[in-house]
Amino acid sequence: MKQILFFTLFLSCYIASGQRILGEIELVGFLLGQHRHAVHAELGPPIEKRQTEDKWIYEFHKLTPDTSAYVLFKYPSWDTTRIYAIQISGDRYDHMHPFRGLKLGASLNEVTQVFGKSNDIETITDPPLAVHYFDQKNYSFEIDRSGRLNGIQIFGKILSNPVEKKMATINGFREAVISKNVDSLLHYLSPDVKIIASGKETPFSGAAREEFKKANSPFVQKLLGEMNSVHYAFSKERAEGEGELKTFGEGNNTFTVFKFYDSEIISEILFYPHAGKWKVFQIHFRK
């Protein structure tokens, strides 16, 4: 593991600038932009921590007891409280949530079938790996000498993508809540989403995807519970909401607020831009 850690610290984020970046924002259940304390709550304290010369924080967490599979979170110097890059590494990790259907240990041919041919390959001698990069994408792959997927990394450059639509719509999020589809929910929920009820803020307690596996999660109960929840407001009250575009701050940052005059449970749902999409970042209950 020592060799891999040393290599990872110097792995570059190969992304051409000036154009819209496409790719993924989720890896090992976490979302780019999630808070650092959520990582620690889910995985415990890091097994190793380093700070680069330009003040980035790198924290390594084990995914297996023997550290044969581990994950690296990178926190940028301008905000060391939020995830900017995620990298998972290891010979094989069957328990990982698939990355577009792939897990560590997949063949290079399988990777190519899903993602196409890479645009650039960087060869590393110690440890012996080939790092595959893609133009205008926010991910890269490490292939070991046996031709197997040994690492996946996603970068935060995608977070600066502007939204294409002037204003958010509520329909997609409503359908995701009614169907209780986790993949769809993670598409519409921002990494720092909060449910606000009775003066208390409830965010993700750990990894975003793992939150929906926790039977007693206050966040999930407020979102998807059968009573007094967003799910109830959408499926039983059939609340529609009225949308309005708002601006705030000196930079005229925008968000969309939907006011629910037709619900006795929820009062507002706020969306803001994240990685080029409108995402839910606050849900306000009436009480």
Q: Give residues with Cβ within 8 angstroms of 254, minimum separation 6.
A: 245, 246, 247, 248, 272, 273
**Residue 115 DSSP SS3:** helix
Looking at the chain, which residues constitute the CATH 3.10.450 domain(s)? 171-285
pLDDT of residue 156: 94
Backbone angles phi, psi at 183, to 5 degrees: -60, -45
Q: How far, in Å, are 33, 77, 279 from residue 37 at the CA level?
A: 12, 16, 21
The CB density around residue 116, as the number of other CB atoms within 10 Å, is 10
| pLDDT per residue of the chain (287 residues) written in tens, 0 to 9 | 444 444 444 444 444 445 789 999 999 999 999 999 999 999 999 999 999 999 999 999 999 998 889 999 999 999 999 999 999 999 888 889 999 999 999 999 999 999 999 999 999 887 889 999 999 999 999 999 999 999 999 999 999 899 888 899 999 999 999 999 999 999 999 999 999 999 999 999 999 999 999 989 999 999 999 999 999 999 999 999 999 988 776 656 789 999 999 999 999 999 999 999 999 999 999 98
- Domain formed by 171-285, architecture: Roll (3.10)
Question: Rounded to whole angstroms, how far apart are CA atoms 140 and 155?
Answer: 9
pLDDT of residue 251: 57
pLDDT of residue 10: 43
Question: Rounded to whole angstroms, how far apart are CA atoms 147 and 131?
Answer: 11
The radius of gyration of the chain from alpha carbons, rounded to an integer in Å, stands at: 20
The CB density around residue 80, as the number of other CB atoms within 10 Å, is 15
pLDDT of residue 246: 86
Measured between its terminal Cα atoms, the distance across the chain in Å is: 50
**Residue 152 DSSP SS3:** strand
